[in-house]
Structures are given as structure tokens and as C-alpha cells.
Amino acid sequence: MRFDSLLQSVGHTPLIGLPRLSPSSDVRLWAKLEDRNPTGSVKDRAALNMILQAEAQGLLRPGCTLLEPTSGNTGISLAMVAKQRGYNLICVMPENTSVERTQLLTMWGATIITSPAAGGSNEAVRVAKGLAAQNPDWVMLYQYGNEANAQAHYDSTGPELLSDLPEITHFVAGLGTTGTLMGVGRYFRDHKPEVQIVAAEPRYGEVVYGLRNIDEGFIPELYDASLLTSRFSVGPLDALKRTRQLLEIEGIFAGISTGAILHAALGIAKKADEAGQVANIAFIVCDGGWKYLSTGAYEGTLAEAETKIEGQLWA
Amino acid sequence: MAIEVRVPTILRVYTGGEKSVNAEGDTLQAVITNLEVNYPGIGGRLLDDSGLRRFVNVYLNDEDVRFLDGLNTSVGDQDAITILPAVAGG
């Protein structure tokens, strides 16, 4: 496949059957390899579209500064796009993210401001909103509330899935900004409404939920629960176990959040198989495992790996 | 009939610091009512007049009860309920 520039190559990712993890020939799992994007994650789609839309709206001038709260992947994608388009980027990132994320952000020219581990991304959002108020000339694209994030998936991920797998019955993705699920969910509601949309939400260690008050919780502005069929919380042990299975059984080296998504997908596959239904379950491989090597996720026993990622924002 | 309820750090002031407590009831509503009897104050942190509070997520065996039957979701022996505050990802 040939493209005129790197940015034009975003998306168009392969959909790979998983013959060994699928329970039967009637219930099949399909992995959409989003790690095959320019910076190696699904976030390239949202980052590119948010910047293009902001340009179209006249919000960005050459040399202007973007600000974004991010646990990593969105920041890395924005940094790559910003560099191509001539903008500066400041990321507010929780301190409990992997060292590779910091290295990659720096490599692509972003400046990093860390936010405290306690409270996880909630805290990064709070810090970024404060900085945005103090620096009115900075542009915060704000992935959690920017319709261009979900729209990227309505315009690209959804159509790619339906084109490659017209018989799709289920779509499973991670719930972070909710952009992937909202965009793909809305696309299927408009084009194949019987497709079930399933969210897999990472369940982190306790420090991440270390809010002072339960009313300080956070729900992305993009979130519309009516687009989801079900929503599962997946803990680190299940996520790690599935991440390793995906590698050992199907040869796909993915990050830990993908393990959480696969866990939910396998649960659905098992139910469909037991009910004698035909199912084609597509799920998102958010990124490759490279950025998580330093976490210890792929070494030693599962219990050892779980201890090592305790307190980390692993998805 | 005992149902395990996992309590987030922020609500452990009501459970004497316990991470996990047992409760009884055949629906989520009944379980919360039972929790309130043994751990006064916790019910008001979970519910308001409209039902589950906006930033409170409750999972029955890892599935979000808002996509089951909400407070009317049936629960049984061996089931585990997890309460978590809503947090950001991405």
C-alpha cells in the first residue's frame, strides 16, 4: 500500500482471525491490529482527526502550543501529528505510567508535565484544565470531550470493520476516553444495529482510585451509555493472563490493555458457544507490547507480573 | 446467603477499613440496604434519589450492573459485587 505521507497512512489496519483462541468454527474471534499505526497505537486515528478538525475550525496557527492530559498513547500520537503539522505539544501525564511512554513522548518532541499518581488520569485532567485556564493561548484538544475523537472511529474504524467482516456480531474495545466505542458504536447503530458493542474497562490498583471524595469521579463527556450493550471491568491478573495467551497461542505481541479486551471477548465467545450461536467477535488490539517491557508484564509468573504492575496505569 | 462486596478505599471509612465485607440480599438494592444496616452511612454514598450515584460504578462478577437490571439486578450466593469510583482512562 502506498501513501503520500505518514499521516495519510493512519488506519487501514489488518483484521486477523484467531483460529486457536476461537472456541469453534461457528464462534470466531478477530483481532484488529491497531498497533500497525504510525506510532503503534489506535490513538493515531483520534489524534490526527482532532488536529485536522481544529485546523478546519481555525483554532490552530503554525507554531501554536497544544496541551493534553494523557496517560500516554494519545500524547504520543498527538506529538507525532503535531510535529508533522508544526505545533508544540505539552502533555500532562500521571507519574505512574511506563518509562517508555516518557521516552517516546520526548523523542517526538513533546514536553511533559507530570501529575500525581494518586487519582490517575483524573488528576491529569484536573491539572491540565488548570493550566489551560492560566494559558489561554494554548489549545487543549481534550480527547475526553472532543467529538472528533469518536468521529475518527465513525469515519474509519467502523467502516473498515464492516467491510472486512460483514458478518460481524460483536465489537469489543477498551473504555478510556470512550472514543473508540462511541464512534464504532454509533457507526454500527447506523449501519448494522444488531452488532453488540461491548466495553472492557481496566480495573487498576487502589492508588488509581485514590480520590478524596466519590463526587470527584470522572466520566468522559463523550460517553453515551445507550451505545453500549454491556460493560466489563477486567482486573490486572486476567489482563496479563490474556496478553500472554495472545502471544503464546496466536503469536500477537500486544500491550496489557489488549489483554483486558481479549478477556471480555473470550467471555462473550464462551457464552455464544455454549448457547450454540454463531458469532464473529472483533476486538481492538490497542497497541503492541513494546511500551510495557519495563513493567515486567511478560516475565516470571503471572502473580509476579501482577505485583509489578500494581499501582501502574497499565492501560 | 452471603455475597462478597469489595469496597473502594474511599468508602472504607464506613467498613472499619475492611476491603471486602459480606452482605445479604437477593437484589443489588437489598444488598445495599443490608450494607447500610451494618455499615451506617455507606448507603448514602452509593445512592441518591435517582438511584446509583453518577460517579459510582457497581459490578456484579465484573459486569457493570447498569447494563444488567441496575438496582433490581438479581444476586446470589457465590456472587461478588465490586464498587468503584468512575475514573478517567486514555
Whether the predicted pLDDT of A199 surpasses 60: yes
Tell me, what's the pLDDT at A46? 98
Encode pLDDT of A112-163 as tens digits: 999 988 878 888 999 999 999 999 999 999 999 999 999 999 999 999 999 9
Segment A48-99, tens digit of pLDDT: 999 999 999 999 999 999 999 998 899 999 999 999 999 999 999 998 888 8
Contacts with A182 from chain B: Cβ below 8 Å: none
Among chain B residues, the shortest Cα distance to A230 is held by B67
- What pLDDT score does B89 carry? 67
Alpha helices (H) along A154-217: 158-164, 179-191
For A100-110, the pLDDT digits (tens) are 889 999 999 99
- Collect all residues of chain A within an 8 Å Cβ-Cβ radius of residue B87: 119-122, 204, 208-209, 211, 217-218
Grid coordinates given for A191 = 449501519
Chain B residues with at least one Cβ partner in A under 8 Å: 8-11, 45, 53-57, 59, 62-64, 66-67, 82, 84-90
* DSSP letter assigned to residue A209: G
Distance CA A232, CA A293 (A): 26
pLDDT of residue A143: 96
Sheet containing strand A65-69, strands side by side = A111-115, A88-94, A65-69, A139-140
The predicted structure's pLDDT at residue A27: 98
**CB-CB neighbors (< 8 A) of A175 in chain B:** 89
Quick one: cell of A152?
475518527
Of the two residues A12 and A310, the one the predictor is more confident about is A12
CA of B55 vs chain A CAs: smallest distance (Å): 5
DSSP line for A269-292: HHHHHHTT--EEEEEEE-BBSGGG
Confidence of residue A209 (pLDDT cuts 50, 70, 90): confident
Per-residue model confidence (pLDDT) at position B1: 63
The full DSSP string for A105-157 is HHHTT-EEEEE-STTHHHHHHHHHHHHHHH-TTSEE--TTT-HHHHHHIIIII
Given an 8 Å threshold on Cβ–Cβ distance, is A122 in contact with B90? no
Which residue of the set A43, A71, A98, A308 is catalytic? A43
Average pLDDT of every residue of chain A: 94
pLDDT > 70? residue A249: yes
Chain B residue nearest residue A177, CA to CA: B90
Tens digit of pLDDT per residue, chain B (90 long)? 689 999 999 999 999 999 999 999 999 999 999 999 999 999 999 999 999 999 999 999 999 999 999 999 999 988 999 999 998 765
Q: pLDDT value at position A148?
A: 98
Q: Is A285 on the interface with B (CB under 8 A)?
A: no
Q: What's the pLDDT tens digit per position in A212-243?
A: 777 778 899 999 999 999 999 999 999 999 99
- Position A14 scores a pLDDT of 98
pLDDT tens digits, A275-308: 999 999 999 999 999 999 998 999 999 999 999 8
